[in-house]
């Protein structure tokens, strides 16, 4: 007789079941799903995955079979959420099922070691990541990178990771003191500088700070801030993500001029971040602590201040960029900015505010690029197929600049431009870098 399957409690909770029941299986989300586009299989569509979750919640299938396989292939891009007319919260369903899977899984020693190193020992420590970045700068500058790529001997996952390494900058922003406003001071913002972005795309943070300063903002860098917890949540390490979230909430609230009873008396105008994936998780802190008496209110107050750079700037562009950039530009939405945070028009409005730019939309700008946290490392084959579709769209626009608003997308698209031989004709840059280019063009006039 077959052994009875007992589903874990989070899959049988009334909340999870009512989220599942919202899906009417209409299939209107299928065409929006990148994995359905490449695999053409129901089980790799949002509807199919929801049905698998339903079957697991009713104990009809085990956790470690089809559910595990098809959820691992999901990018968690949440494109299906935007497409769904019934308002199904796929992101919440995915997160709950993913946590249940992780709790039930027994990862091997190597995987446990990598997780411990990446999620606990590296990402929460910006100083350690910068240390690694310095070694990577040497690796690039001494020609070792070219040699490693030519000899092609790295194991698959390491090779996938190495391929994503961008041209690194040896100059990092100074967070030891606030960056003063340039010209008339309009307010004070706190900057959430992230972990990977700070170490491996330092020039994006430099440009972000400069753009905020140019618009009249004094930029603070609260000491003690740490990784947002996105990668930990994605890996099903919810408790670790909560620990990081508590640290961020405390750091930003305690450093706030209002919370500590001093400063300008107005608090920060915003807690600004420049990575769609991080911002989406920072805004989810309220949800993460809704049942935590000590943190629920603090989390809500913190979240009310969090804004993506484009959200903030579109309303506070006190000094619009005036430098002419006579070039063709396209933009690839960050899934977590577009589908998670619903920030769609703001980056486009800012790009179009730059004189001389000819803006061209991609055919499907809202389609994931295949980055999705560590998806492009652990599921490199499907990530590459999705990336190839994206780069074909980029090539069709004839754009010379491809703008992004998220760290993972930036690394993936930069790799995609090299892989599709579009680079160096096509440059990948963050919105802040594009704005800064225009400001500098104005200064050099």
User: Which residues of this protein are in contact with ligand SF4, per CB under 6 A?
Assistant: 23-29, 32-35, 46-47, 49-50, 74-80, 84, 86, 88, 90
* The two three-digit tokens of residue 400, written as one number: 């010379």
* C-beta of 25 vs 352, nearer to ligand SF4: 25
Separation of alpha carbons 122 and 110, rounded Å:
16
* C-beta of 9 vs 87, nearer to ligand SF4: 87
Q: Pick from 221, 211, 208, 217: which is nearest to 187 by CA?
A: 217
* The two three-digit tokens of residue 203, written as one number: 């020039």
Least Å distance between CB 90 and ligand SF4?
5
* C-beta of 91 vs 124, nearer to ligand SF4: 91
Least Å distance between CB 310 and ligand SF4?
22
* C-beta of 275 vs 335, nearer to ligand SF4: 335
* The two three-digit tokens of residue 142, written as one number: 């001494």
Separation of alpha carbons 165 and 201, rounded Å:
10
Separation of alpha carbons 1 and 351, rounded Å:
64
* The two three-digit tokens of residue 155, written as one number: 């194991």
Least Å distance between CB 53 and ligand SF4?
11
Q: Pick from 57, 52, 51: which is nearest to 5 by CA?
A: 57
Least Å distance between CB 61 and ligand SF4?
18
Separation of alpha carbons 418 and 435, rounded Å:
23
Least Å distance between CB 366 and ligand SF4?
10
Q: Rounded to the nearest 10 degrees, how much is the dihedral formed by the CA atoms of 362, 364, 365, 369?
A: -110
DSSP state at residue 86: T
Least Å distance between CB 52 and ligand SF4?
11
Q: Which residue has the tokens 């967070």?
A: 175
* C-beta of 219 vs 230, nearer to ligand SF4: 230
* The two three-digit tokens of residue 252, written as one number: 């930003």
CB contact set of 320 (below 8 Å; sequence gap of 6+): 353
Least Å distance between CB 244 and ligand SF4?
23
DSSP state at residue 120: I
Least Å distance between CB 287 and ligand SF4?
17
* C-beta of 70 vs 214, nearer to ligand SF4: 70
* C-beta of 226 vs 379, nearer to ligand SF4: 379
Separation of alpha carbons 383 and 334, rounded Å:
15
CB contact set of 243 (below 8 Å; sequence gap of 6+): none
* C-beta of 24 vs 167, nearer to ligand SF4: 24
Least Å distance between CB 368 and ligand SF4?
6
Least Å distance between CB 82 and ligand SF4?
9
Q: Is 294 exposed, middle or buried (0-12, 13-18, 19+ CB in 10 A)?
A: exposed
Helices (H), 176-260: 196-200, 202-214, 230-234, 238-255
* C-beta of 73 vs 114, nearer to ligand SF4: 73
* C-beta of 23 vs 181, nearer to ligand SF4: 23
**What is the three-class DSSP state of 222?**
coil
- The answer to whether the CB of 329 falls within 8 A of the CB of 306 is no
Cross-strand bridge partners of residue 429: 403
Least Å distance between CB 46 and ligand SF4?
4
Q: Pick from 290, 340, 309: which is nearest to 89 by CA?
A: 340
* C-beta of 162 vs 388, nearer to ligand SF4: 388
């Amino acid at each position: 007789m077959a052994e009875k399957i007992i589903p874990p409690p989070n899959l049988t909770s009334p909340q999870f079941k009512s989220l599942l029941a919202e899906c009417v299986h209409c299939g209107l989300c299928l065409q929006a799903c990148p994995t359905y586009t490449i695999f053409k299989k129901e089980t790799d569509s949002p509807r199919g995955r929801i049905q698998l979750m339903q079957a697991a919640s009713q104990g009809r299938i085990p956790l470690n079979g089809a559910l595990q396989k098809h959820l691992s292939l999901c990018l968690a891009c949440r494109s299906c959420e935007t497409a769904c007319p019934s308002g199904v919260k796929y992101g919440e369903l995915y997160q709950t099922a993913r946590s249940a899977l992780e709790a039930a899984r027994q990862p091997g020693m190597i995987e446990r070691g990598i997780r411990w190193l990446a999620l606990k020992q590296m990402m929460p420590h910006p100083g350690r990541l910068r240390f690694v970045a310095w070694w990577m700068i040497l690796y690039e500058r001494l020609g070792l990178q070219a040699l490693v790529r030519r000899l092609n001997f790295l194991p698959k996952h390491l090779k996938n990771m190495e391929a994503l390494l961008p041209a690194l900058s040896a100059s990092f922003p100074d967070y030891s003191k606030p960056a003063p406003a340039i010209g008339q001071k309009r307010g004070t913002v706190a900057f959430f500088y992230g972990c990977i972005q700070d170490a491996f795309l330092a020039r994006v943070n430099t440009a972000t700070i400069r753009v905020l300063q140019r618009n009249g903002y004094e930029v603070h860098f609260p000491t003690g801030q740490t990784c947002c917890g996105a990668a930990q949540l994605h890996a099903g390490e919810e408790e670790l993500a909560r620990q990081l979230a508590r640290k961020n909430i405390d750091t930003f609230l305690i450093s706030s001029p209002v919370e500590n009873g001093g400063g300008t008396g107005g608090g920060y105008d915003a807690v600004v971040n420049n990575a769609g994936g991080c911002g989406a998780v920072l805004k989810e802190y309220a949800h993460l602590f809704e049942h935590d008496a000590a943190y629920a209110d603090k989390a809500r107050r913190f979240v009310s201040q969090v804004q993506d750079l484009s959200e903030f700037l579109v309303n506070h562009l006190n000094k619009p960029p005036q430098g002419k950039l006579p070039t063709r530009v396209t933009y690839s939405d960050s899934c977590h900015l577009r589908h998670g945070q619903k920030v769609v028009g703001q980056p486009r409005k800012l790009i179009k505010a730059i004189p001389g730019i000819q803006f061209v939309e991609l055919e499907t700008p809202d389609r994931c690029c295949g980055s999705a946290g560590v998806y492009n490392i652990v599921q490199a084959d499907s990530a590459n197929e999705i990336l190839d579709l994206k780069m074909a769209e980029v090539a069709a626009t004839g754009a010379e600049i491809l703008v992004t608003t998220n760290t993972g997308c930036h690394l993936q698209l930069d790799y995609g431009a090299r892989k599709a031989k579009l680079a160096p004709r096509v440059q990948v840059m963050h919105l802040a870098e594009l704005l800064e280019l225009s400001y500098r063009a104005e200064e050099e006039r």
